[in-house]
Amino acid sequence: MHYGIFFLKLNLSPRATLPKRDLQKANPMATRARRASHAVSHPSTRSKRISRAAASPAAMAVYIAMATAGLAALAIGIFGPRRFQEEIVAPIRTGMSDQAERLWREARPLRRQIGGLIGRAADEGGREKLVRSFQSWIGHFRAT
């Protein structure tokens, strides 16, 4: 028990409890949040939404339409309206009309089918049959 004298001199007995210390007062650096050494800049959600909208496919289509209208206005300004009509619009119209006529002819069976659907939907009985047909069709695709 010669250790008992040592503990008494230091006021530390083996059974004595140390006073409880508040950890925040004892070590303030461990409990405080550190500040960032440099400012972190995050783009706002508004600017993110604007940049996403500006790069969307719909916005690209608008840009192309605006550019086309601008180029047409520039061509009219340079050539004049009559020359623009003769050299630019007329050749495009003839090329497009041939394709449009061909597409119209090829779409005739589809147009008849859509017309038949509209005709059947005109009366109540036909509408009910059409609804059942669509429900069956949707059920078929959900099953696969």
Please check whether residue 78 lies inside any domain of the structure: yes
Per-residue tokens: 40:
């972190």
Residue 93: DSSP 8-state = H
Question: What does the pLDDT read at residue 124?
Answer: 81
pLDDT (tens digit, 9 = 90+) per residue, 126-137? Answer: 788 878 888 888
Give domain status of residue 102, yes or no: yes
90 assigned to some structural domain: yes
Q: Which domain holds residue 70?
A: 56-136
For residue 103, being part of any structural domain is answered with yes
Whether 5 is covered by a domain: the verdict is no
Residue 111 forms part of a structural domain = yes
Q: Taking the chain (144 residues) in consecutive chunks of 10 residues, what is each chunk's mean pLDDT? A: 49 53 53 59 77 90 94 89 88 87 91 83 80 84 75
Q: Are 66 and 74 in contact (CB under 8 A)?
A: no
* Residue 130 contacts residue 124 (beta carbons within 8 Å): no
What does pTM read for this prediction? 0.36
Contacts 24+ apart (CB under 8 A), 8-12: none
Q: Secondary structure of 110-126 in the HEC alphabet?
A: HHHHHHHHHHHCCCHHH
